Structures are given as structure tokens and as C-alpha cells.
Amino acid sequence: MKKIIFLLLAVLAFANVNSQILDPVKWTTKIEKKSDNTYILTFNGVIEKDWHMYSQFTPDGGPLALEVIFKNQKGNFSLVGKAKESKTKTAYNDIFEVDETYFQNKAQIQQIIHVTNTKTAKIEAELNYQVCKEVCINLEKKFTFSIPADAIVSSAPTVEKPIVETVEMVDSTNVDSLVPSLGASNVMVAAPEQIVVEAKNMDTKRGLWSIFFIAFLSGFAALLTPCVFPMIPMTVSFFTKQSKSRAKGIRNAVIYGIAIIVIYVMLGFVVTWVFGADALNALSTNVWFNLLFFVLLVVFAASFLGAFEIMLPNSWANKVDNQADRGGMIGILFMALALAIVSFSCTGPIVGTLLVEAASKGGIAPIVGMFGFSLALALPFMLFAMFPGWLHSLPKSGGWLNTVKVVLGFLELALAFKFLSNADLVLQLHLLEREVFLAIWIAIFGTLAFYLFGKITLPHDSPLTHLSVGRLLTGLLVLSFTIYLIPGLWGAPLKLINAFPPSIEYSESPFGVGGSGGNAPAAILPDGAKSGPHGIIVFDDYDKGLAYAKSVNKPIMLDFTGYACVNCRKMENNVWSDPKILPILNNEVVLISLYVDDKRDLPESEQFVSKTTGSEIETIGDKWTDFMISKYKTNTQPLYVLTDLEGNNLNIDAPTISYVSLEEYETWLKTGISNYKK
């Protein structure tokens, strides 16, 4: 009888422990034969109410995006295009400052494959994704598809690996409903202010409007380049002289302007159609494509600065120009096409940069961007045709046009390093930390200021006998911006550009070059430690943190966190920074932050198969995830644990806590520390 009671208690305990491992998405799959050796793989997910799962196309720098991975692809089959998704929603995330894309209620992922090895019997696939409610978790699920002869074959996930990541407090109003699902009293979730809850039309519109205005301003910038500006009086004069009446001249110029818009909008359509509405978005979040965009923008910048010209073949322009002589509507259309080809050396880099930026928004953003750009480019031709007297007020062509081009080159060069920074952040190489990024920008904009003041000349510049008022004022503006950047080296927040450089935490020191602060000057950091949020000494390796804690005889606070964790950042910014909490974290505990989304590979000798989940532990993030799940039986974050030097919990009633209020966090901290001192 005692044995039966013991077994029942063990089963109940096991059920209670594992009820904390959340799994809000239920998957089914199927495989369909499309044609000889070509198949459609479909993943259908049913998402629990109030949860949402992030898409493949959530931008870099935001929550973790869905990944579709095929394990046995090499030599067996090839992918036909990128995986397609069912309908998603988009909302602006004010923490990461990106338009995140996600599924609600249900999700469908389809991938077409072409089998190259006819002996292949199985397709091994894997989905890595984040799903969020009051907390977020990162899940990895494995599937095996059996290749059928003709029929549709259903499949179910064979192995699942809860990895975990709290990314976003989506809605605090239903927070109480989460606690019963966790099935444990040792996980506390408080109700802070509501962050981003669901996609709203205004958020999408705001993103598209921002793309439109940026593109519109870029169109005006392109207008003021040597390839385009001189063509305004030439083209308008052609229409007014060749037309039998002023009304017909105006009509032809308006048609010409509309043709320009149609050409560039068609380019946006082609980009969206060829690559898919969101494919370029996915590319722009990829490390290798960020590096490619960096190289492209550096090439564009070099072209604008005068190193060389990017031109389409002259034969194209000649053929189009011959067609323009036909007259009528067709002739006007070819004249607009000739403008696009001839001016490509100036407009090409701007258009290319715009397409990259617009593509990061996904959807129809490339079309909207091209519409804004072409509208600004076409408007002057139409307006000056309507009011030809205005032509006399236009400034004469001259060296100032090349100055505009050079300024654009400097801006392209500065933007290029944003893409290089994205790649460095994803790989966590720490090669382009905040100080290095800012130093590069200070050098770029400082050199631009010297150029505007006439201290530097470039290959295509005209002799500068004096500074115009406009050039002087622009130079002063650039110099002021450069000086504004300098305090960033010493830890200034630089709110005007906070979306561009890496965060203060991603730096040699949060206090900048030669700075110090808090209780953790960079010069006296313990071995394996770094200066974390608000100057707190923090370890990201458990063994090194434990060794230091033993040397100073202080309790350990484990912080299970993630690089893409919204609530982790909010706790650090709003709770850790409080005068009641910061001294405790600085002086009374040893903080060890373990990042579960760290994608760096473990050395092969340290890789293993989890005894808890049966999954392969291959990355640093996998290691800390398995540690969290196996020891603390939960897969939510942020997760905080206070332990003694032997790893025993110091808080009996609440061994772990998550996203809580300041008062609750303070009480929990003081209770654990008091227990350690007893």
C-alpha cells in the first residue's frame, strides 16, 4: 500500500513539475506530390487563444523569427523558393523599435522541395519559433516526412525541444490566467503596463507612411544630383517647344511625369513579385545578406564620392532614345525610361538603398517606397511645364550638384555600417561594439564637415572660391551633429540616433572610453566578468561566476535571459535601476546572466544529448536552456533564482520569480539574502 501511495505521489509531483513547460502550438503536417520528384510539405499549427507566434519575417533586432530547417537536405533534395506563410499580422514594438510580424490562432507553413536522390525515403525538418502571451517561449520541433508514391501522407512531430525565451509582455490584463497553467507556486508573474498587444492598422500605416516620406525626400535628393537636375529645363523646354499649344505641352509633361512614376512603381512591383511580399525582409535579417548590403552600400558610397560611376550599358540608352523619337504616348513613355537609364549612376544607389530599407518592412513597402521616390522625381517636370516661367528661378547647374552627390555618398557610407553592425550583433562577435561604431560615425561626419567647409576636395569637385550660405549652414549642422556624437563614447545615450548604434550594453564598457561608474570600473572587473546594465558586475558563464561568488562569499542570483527578451530589458531598465535594488545587485549578490538564445556553438567535446528533453545540446543557448528546464522545471523568461554556493535555493516559498513588480522583487531579494546570512 505504501508503495502505491508513493508512486501516486511521484506521478502527481512529476505532473506538477512538467506542467510548467508550456506548449501553446499543436502541429500536424502533410506531404503532397506536386509533380515528378516535386513535393509540397505543409506544417499546420493551431495556436492557443491569446498566444501569438512570430513569423519568419519579423525583422532583425526584434523577437526571434521562425526558422524552417531541413536536416538531411544535402545530396537528397533542394528547396524550391522560400517557405510560404499563411496570413500574418504586423504591430510596432516600441521596445525593439521594429514592426514585428506574427500569427494568431493558426499558422500554415508550406515548402516546396525537389527530390534529387530518388532513394531518399524521409525528409527531416525542424521548426524553431517563438510563441508569446504574458510570457514568451522559444520552441524547437522536429518532424519526419515519409515520401509517398502518390497519396497524401500525414506526419506528426517526432521530437520536441522546448528552448525558451521570454520576449514580450503582451497583455497584462489576463495575467492571472497564466499562473494556473504553469501549475506551480514558485513562478510569479506580475501585471505591468500593457505593451504591444495585437496588430493595429495604424501601426502598419505608420510604417508605410515613414517609408513613403523617406522615399519622397530621397527622390528630391536624387533630383539635386548632376545626372537629373540639368534635365529639368531641357525636358520642359522640349515639351513646350514641340507642342502646338501650351495646354498640349502641359499635358505631355504631365504624362511624362506619370510615366516616370509608373516605371519606378513597376520596379517595386517586380521586386515584390519576384521575391515574394516578405522575402526580402527575411533576407535583410540574415547575417550574410546584412554583409552583402554593407558591401553594396560601400560601393554606392564610393561611386557618389567620385571613385567610379555605376552606369547601365550605353546601348540601352541609345535604343530607348531612338524609340523616344516616335512621338505620341509611346515616345513619351520611352523618354521617361531614357531618364531612368541615363540618370542611373546617380539614382541607382539611392533606389537600391531604398529597396533594402523598404524590404525590411515587408509587404507592399517596396511599392510604396518607389511611389514616393518617383513622385518627388516627377513633380518638378510637371510643375515647371505648367509654369515655365519658374525655370528662370532655378539655380544654374554647377559644382553644387556634385556637392549634393558627395553628401549623399557620406550618408550611404554611414548607413552601411548599420548593416555591418546587424551582422555583428547576430553573431555576437563584439567586433563592432558601440564605441567602435560611434568612432566610425564621428570620423565619417567629421570628414563631411571638413568637406563642406572646403578643407577637403574630391575628384569631381569644381574649384571653390567661397562658401555659399547654404553650404556653410549645412556644414555647421553636420559639425554640430558630429560633436553631439562624441559624448556617446563616454556612455551618453544619444537619443536622437538610438536606433542605429549598438546598445550601451553591447560595448567595451557601458561607461564609454576611459569612463567609470557604479562599483564596477572596467579596469578592476573580475576574470570572466563584464560591466552589465547600470554598471553591475555580471558573468555570462556559470562556472566563472560561481568561482567568483565563492571567493567573495556572496549568494548567486541566476538571471535566465535573452538578447531578444523584451521583459528582460524592462526589468533591467525599470526594476534593477531603482535605488532600492541597484545597491543590492551591486554589493550583496553575484549576478550570473545566462542567455538562452546565444547561438554560438559549443565545442564538440561539450555537446551532449539532454537527459531531460532528449534533444541535442549544440549551442551555448541550448546549454543554459537545458540547465533551466532540468533544474527549475520551467521554460519562461526572465527567470530569477537566488542560490547559495552549493546551488540550493534561498527562497523557500518562491524559489524562482519572473516578471514582477518592484516591491515584490525587492522583498524576494531581501528574503533570499537574509536566508543566506543565517
Which residue is it, cell 513613355?
333
Domain end call among 106, 131, 164: 164
Residues 126 and 221 in one domain: no
Report yes or no on 623 lying in a domain: yes
Report yes or no on 560 lying in a domain: yes
Residues 258 and 125 in one domain: no
pLDDT digits (tens, 9 = 90+) for 214-224: 888 888 887 77
Residues 148 and 226 in one domain: no
Residues 248 and 381 in one domain: yes
Q: Of the ranges 308-317, 462-471, 476-485, which one carries the lowest mean pLDDT score?
A: 308-317
On whether the CB atoms of residues 647 and 590 are closer than 8 A, the answer is no
Report yes or no on 423 lying in a domain: no
pLDDT at 7: 40
Report yes or no on 60 lying in a domain: yes
Count of domains observed in the chain: 3
Higher pLDDT, 315 or 85: 85
Residues 138 and 217 in one domain: no
Q: Enumerate residues 6+ apart whose C-beta is below 8 A from 561.
A: 568, 593, 594, 595, 596, 637, 638
Residues 157 and 221 in one domain: no
Residues 156 and 219 in one domain: no
Residues 214 and 351 in one domain: yes
Model confidence band, residue 3 (pLDDT cutoffs 50, 70, 90): very low
Name the burial class of residue 215, with classes exposed (0-12), middle (13-18) and buried (19+) by CB atoms within 10 angstroms of its CB. Answer: buried
pLDDT at 437: 93
pLDDT digits (tens, 9 = 90+) for 513-556: 454 444 444 447 888 888 888 888 999 889 999 999 999 999 99
pLDDT digits (tens, 9 = 90+) for 16-39: 334 467 778 999 999 888 888 888
List the CATH number of the domain containing 37: 2.60.40.1250
Residues 236 and 158 in one domain: no
pLDDT at 116: 86
Residues 30 and 83 in one domain: yes
Report yes or no on 465 lying in a domain: no
- How far is the C-alpha of 299 from the C-alpha of 308, rounded, in Å? 9
Model confidence band, residue 189 (pLDDT cutoffs 50, 70, 90): very low
Share of the chain above pLDDT 90, in %: 20
- Mapping DSSP to helix (H, G, I), strand (E, B) and coil, where does residue 406 land? helix
Report yes or no on 476 lying in a domain: no
Model confidence band, residue 238 (pLDDT cutoffs 50, 70, 90): low
List the CATH number of the domain containing 627: 3.40.30.10
pLDDT at 169: 34
pLDDT digits (tens, 9 = 90+) for 568-588: 877 887 899 899 999 999 999
Average pLDDT over residues 347-368: 70
Average pLDDT over residues 425-449: 89
Domain end call among 343, 366, 398: 398
pLDDT at 358: 65
Assess whether pLDDT exceeds 80 at residue 378: yes
Residues 130 and 239 in one domain: no
Whether this model's pTM surpasses 0.85: no
Domain end call among 398, 429, 455: 398
Residues 355 and 217 in one domain: yes
Report yes or no on 508 lying in a domain: no
Report yes or no on 427 lying in a domain: no
**Residue 429 DSSP label:** -
Range of the domain at 356: 207-398
pLDDT digits (tens, 9 = 90+) for 47-73: 998 888 989 888 776 788 888 988 888
pLDDT digits (tens, 9 = 90+) for 585-626: 999 999 999 998 888 889 999 999 988 888 888 889 889 989
Average pLDDT over residues 370-398: 77
